[in-house]
Amino acid sequence: MRKQMLIASGLSLGLGVGSPAIAYELPPSVNLGFTSFLDGAPPAGPGWYVEQYLQFYRDGRLKDADGDDLRLPTASGSEKATVETAVGLTQIVYQSDQPLLWGGKWGMNFMLPLVDIDLDPEDNFALSNNSGGVGDLLVGPFLQWDPIMGPNGPRFVQRVEFQLIFPTGKYDADDALNPGSNFFSFNPYWAATAFLTPKWTLSWRLHYLWNAENDDPYRGYAADDVQAGQAVHVNFTTAYEVIPQRLRLGINGYYLNQITDSERDGRDIADSKEQVLGLGPGLVFHASRHDHIFANLYWETLAENRPEGTRFNLRYVHHFH
Least confident interval from 97-101, 216-220, 247-251: 216-220
Average pLDDT in the 154-170 region? Answer: 94
Least confident interval from 6-10, 94-98, 279-283: 6-10
Residue 304, CA atoms < 13 Å, CB-side half-sphere: 14
pLDDT exceeding 90 applies to what percent of the chain? Answer: 68
Q: What are the structural domains of the chain?
A: 2-320 (2.40.128.130)
pLDDT of residue 4: 37
- Model confidence at 8, pLDDT cuts 50, 70, 90, reads very low
Least confident interval from 107-121, 136-150, 167-181, 199-213: 167-181
Asked if the model's pLDDT at residue 22 lies above 60, the reply is no
pLDDT of residue 1: 41
Report d(CA 307, CA 256) in Å as an integer.
12
Mean per-residue pLDDT of the chain: 88
Per-residue pLDDT tens digits for 273-311: 999 999 999 999 999 999 999 999 999 999 999 999 999
pLDDT of residue 54: 94
- Model confidence at 210, pLDDT cuts 50, 70, 90, reads very high
Asked if the model's pLDDT at residue 7 lies above 80, the reply is no
pTM of the model: 0.91
Three-state SS for the chain is CEEEEECCCCCCECECCCCCCCECCCCCCCCCCCCCCCCCCCCCCCEEEEEEEEEEEEEEEEECCCCCECEEEECCEEEECEEEEEEEEEEEEEEEEEEEECCEEEEEEEEEEEEEEEEECCCCCCCCECCEECCCEEEEEEEECCCEEECCEEEEEEEEECCEEECCCCCCCCCCECCCCCCCEECCEEEEEEECCCCEEEEEEEEEEEECEECCCCHHHCCCCEECCCEEEEEEEEEEEEECCCEEEEEEEEEEEECCCCEECCEECCCCCCEEEEEEEEEEEEEECCEEEEEEEEEEEEEECCEEEEEEEEEEEEEEC
Asked if the model's pLDDT at residue 30 lies above 90, the reply is no
pLDDT of residue 171: 83
Asked if the model's pLDDT at residue 10 lies above 50, the reply is no
Asked if the model's pLDDT at residue 265 lies above 90, the reply is yes
Answer with the residue of higher pLDDT: 168 or 105: 105
- Model confidence at 113, pLDDT cuts 50, 70, 90, reads confident
pLDDT exceeding 70 applies to what percent of the chain? Answer: 90
Asked if the model's pLDDT at residue 123 lies above 80, the reply is no
